[in-house]
């Protein structure tokens, strides 16, 4: 059974700071996804990465997939209060189901 | 709004009562998932439908839980004889049959269940 770990569990920073959160898997990812979830809402997909070493940018967010496809990082530049939320990584096991990590809860203070 | 919808958004019930939740997926999506999420945790997979067929169930889905998707459209999740440990957010998600978004999930807002 695949296990996903995320670190840190909690992160509280001031507006304007940079941050990085991490996701590690006990096995090779099939297709790694990052989601953001706001309180009382469902997760919203941010990005999907498939190829080892892949880097994707989404405005101030940079997603990096490890060469061995067992780890990933999400870097946010100049964080804003609107970035506050639970950041989840997930793997899509083709034809089966999705496995989620426990998440990193980010709080960006104004 | 053509997103995934869930009803109700909140449900408070007493231990031992039965509850039923509904999920309406995005219309052209043939795959539908149910998850449970407790406070501070990521979503845990419960069950998965492709059209009307229930293809996979997690061991988390005890015999008190049942899910249906008649005609491959909306889905219902029923919990019988609720227990306080069932208190959680129940999330529904859907995915298309093919195309660029094949491996992406679109989540509904969830139903928050509180069992007293």
pLDDT in tens, A17-39: 999 999 999 989 888 999 999 98
- Grade residue A1 by pLDDT with cuts at 50, 70 and 90: confident
Work out the percent of chain A whose per-residue pLDDT is above 70.
97
**Which is nearest to B71 in space by CA: B42, B36, B32?**
B32
Q: How far apart are CA B98 and CA A57, in angstroms?
A: 25
Work out the percent of chain B whose per-residue pLDDT is above 70.
96
Q: Which residue among B40, B43, B103 sits closest to A43, beta carbon to beta carbon?
A: B43
Q: H or E element: which one contains A12?
A: strand A10-14
* Any A CB within 8 A of B25 CB: no
Q: How far apart are CA B49 and CA B46, in angstroms?
A: 11
Q: What's the pLDDT at B67?
A: 95
Q: Which residue among A96, A98, A103 sits closest to B105, beta carbon to beta carbon?
A: A98
- The pair of three-digit structure tokens given for residue B77, joined into one six-digit string: 């999740």
The per-type count for chain B, helices as H runs and strands as E runs, is 0, 11
pLDDT(A93) > 80:
no
């Amino acid at each position: 059974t695949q296990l996903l770990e995320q670190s840190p569990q909690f992160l509280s920073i001031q507006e304007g700071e940079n941050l990085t959160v991490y996701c590690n898997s006990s096995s090779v990812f099939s297709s790694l996804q990052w989601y953001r979830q706001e309180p009382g809402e469902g997760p919203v997909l941010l990005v999907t990465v498939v190829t080892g070493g892949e880097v994707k940018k989404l405005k101030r967010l940079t997603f990096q997939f490890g060469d061995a496809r067992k780890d990933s990082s999400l870097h946010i530049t100049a964080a804003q209060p609107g970035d506050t939320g639970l950041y989840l990584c997930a793997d899509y096991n083709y034809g089966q189901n999705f496995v989620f990590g426990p998440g990193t809860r980010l709080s960006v203070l104004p | 709004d053509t997103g995934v919808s869930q009803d109700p958004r909140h449900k408070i019930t007493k231990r031992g009562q039965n509850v039923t939740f509904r999920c309406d997926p995005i219309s052209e999506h043939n795959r539908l998932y149910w998850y449970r999420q407790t406070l501070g945790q990521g979503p845990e997979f419960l069950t998965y439908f492709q059209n009307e067929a229930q293809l996979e169930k997690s061991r988390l889905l005890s015999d008190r839980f049942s899910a249906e998707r008649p005609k491959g459209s909306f889905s219902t999740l029923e919990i019988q004889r609720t227990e306080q440990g069932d208190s959680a957010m129940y999330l529904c998600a859907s995915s298309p049959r093919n195309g660029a978004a094949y491996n992406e999930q679109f989540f509904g807002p969830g139903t928050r269940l509180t069992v007293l």
